Structure 1
Amino acid sequence: MQRFKALVVDDDSNVREIIRIFFKQQQIDIIEADQGLVALELVERELPDVIILDVMMPNMDGFEVCREIRKKFDIPIIMLTAKTEEFDRVLGLELGADDYVTKPFSPRELVARIKAIFRRMQPKSNNEIAEMNSITFEDISINIDRREVLVRGEKVILRPKEFDLLVYLAKSTGNVFTREQLLEHVWGYDYIGDIRTVDVHIKKLRQKLHSLKKECLQTVWGVGYKFEVEG
């Protein structure tokens, strides 16, 4: 993996030191912040390749920092938290985090998750792109080459994994996929995040495709999800 720059945001200097030492061994450049406002300034100035973001910080917690970053940047974010409740994990994903690691954590696991994120971000091969250039129904059109989605003629902005998930489901209209299958095919075999990632992305897609006459992303209770539209 090529050299890249990580922003580590944590008010605990010991945590930052552990990450700093291990990242140096992995040839990962690191910049640090001990509070949210400093982190936002560094994101603007340094444009890091990935952000490791602690949740529990004074004045401005990690959720708020994540929310502010997502207003302008699509930089991968891994939430670092001592909280284990499902609500907190899902909230981080809903705010735009790509993954999370629960304290206490292994620096090796943290690096593995970063590498997994960058592998998922790699562009598809020409054969994969050429497999199907566009998918069109009555109210929705998906152009795979341009990674563009139009709903009733209006462009809808999707994040990379939201687009990939929509395309995968739309290519197999009517077929039902479990969450595990979607994680495997959309996120990749090596994805080690929360299975609820799929639910969060489906929820986001439904919100962004709200102007469709009929909901195309349908829940099949006890199984998973499918894409189905009329026309």
Structure 2
Amino acid sequence: MKNAKILLVDDEISILQMVEMVLKKEGFTNVLKASTGKEAIEIVKREPVDYIILDVMLPDINGFDLCEKIREYTDVHILFLTARITDFDVLTGFEKGGDDYVTKPFNPLEIVARIKVQLRRSRKTESVPKVNLKRHDFGHFLVDEEAGDLIVEGKLVACPAQVFLLLVYFCQNVNRVLSKEQLFNAVWGYDHLIDDNTVMVHIRRIRERIEPDPGKPVFLQTVRGLGYKLVKEA
């Protein structure tokens, strides 16, 4: 895990240096830095990275748009650094392909903790024997864990990594009510709910893909006051 290649993208040199210093103190020695979107894209095209920390406000491109471009080359975990915390900004970040976000000012140790959690989860996923991977058929849609595919009405539907992981967790716990805290712990790996928006936005993104009418969900249902459940027979 400590050999992971971390890419930091921020136009504030002081932030780049601070986060790099903390990462190296924690044993992450393979740190790449970019202060513009152009530099970030060049790095991603040139070599594989394992985790990206991406500032929203960059001099040459909006961080959300940059995230969308990065997704053309890699599906690694992208964490936004942002001073913009409105629901619209959060939604935009997730829709563009981001997986998580931290608001400025931030504690760099929190970022390190999130990186460690995500890398541990990635390694566990890679080590799961293929015989344990499953296909979950709901008639209207099918989730293939081994292939990483979501098929709706016979057509392959694009699904960002974090959205797919959340959907898979629901499939593994079909017909069970799952709280936001449970979902956050299982999919994001944090032991407490940091932000309601993160879960709610991802629930919406799942519904947009699997529901005949996302505004009236029949598969992924809300259980008021308790959480959500994926129903096998809608």
Q: Which category describes the TM-score, using the shorter chain as reference length?
A: 0.7 to 0.9
- How far did residue 54 of structure 1 move? 0.9
With 212-221 and 42-51 compared, the bigger mean Cα shift is at: 212-221
- Check conservation: 1:178, 1:224, Cα contact below 8 A: yes
- How far did residue 215 of structure 1 move? 4.0
1:148 is matched with 149
1:12 lines up with 2:15 in the alignment:
no
Q: In 2, Cα distance between the equivalents of 1:182 and 1:176? A: 10
Q: Which secondary structure state, in structure 2, belongs to the residue aligned with residue 226 of structure 1? A: strand
- Check conservation: 1:141, 1:151, Cα contact below 8 A: yes
Q: Which secondary structure state, in structure 1, belongs to the residue aligned with residue 124 of structure 2? A: coil
How do residues 1-231 of structure 1 correspond to structure 2 at under 5 angstroms?
Answer: 1-25=1-25, 26-124=27-125, 126=128, 130=132, 133-190=134-191, 193-210=194-211, 215-230=218-233
Unaligned runs of 5+ in 1: none
TM-score normalised over the length of structure 2: 0.83
CA separation of 1:189 and 1:129: change in aligned 2, threshold 3 A: farther
- Check conservation: 1:156, 1:208, Cα contact below 8 A: yes
Q: In 2, Cα distance between the equivalents of 1:22 and 1:66? A: 24
Q: In 2, Cα distance between the equivalents of 1:48 and 1:23? A: 15
CA separation of 1:206 and 1:121: change in aligned 2, threshold 3 A: same
- Check conservation: 1:133, 1:144, Cα contact below 8 A: yes
- How far did residue 126 of structure 1 move? 4.8
- Check conservation: 2:11, 2:34, Cα contact below 8 A: yes
Q: Which secondary structure state, in structure 2, belongs to the residue aligned with residue 200 of structure 1? A: helix
Q: In 2, Cα distance between the equivalents of 1:179 and 1:56? A: 30
- Check conservation: 2:117, 2:190, Cα contact below 8 A: no
Unaligned runs of 5+ in 2: none
- How far did residue 111 of structure 1 move? 0.9
Q: In 2, Cα distance between the equivalents of 1:189 and 1:7? A: 22
- Check conservation: 2:79, 2:100, Cα contact below 8 A: yes
Q: Which secondary structure state, in structure 1, belongs to the residue aligned with residue 8 of structure 2? A: strand
Amino acid at match of 1:176: V
CA separation of 1:122 and 1:129: change in aligned 2, threshold 3 A: farther
With 49-58 and 173-182 compared, the bigger mean Cα shift is at: 173-182
Q: Which secondary structure state, in structure 2, belongs to the residue aligned with residue 182 of structure 1? A: helix
- How far did residue 123 of structure 1 move? 3.4
- How far did residue 110 of structure 1 move? 1.4
RMSD: 2.8
Amino acid at match of 2:228: Y
CA separation of 1:133 and 1:55: change in aligned 2, threshold 3 A: closer
How many pairs were matched up? 230
- How far did residue 29 of structure 1 move? 1.6
Q: In 2, Cα distance between the equivalents of 1:196 and 1:129? A: 35
- Check conservation: 1:116, 1:190, Cα contact below 8 A: no
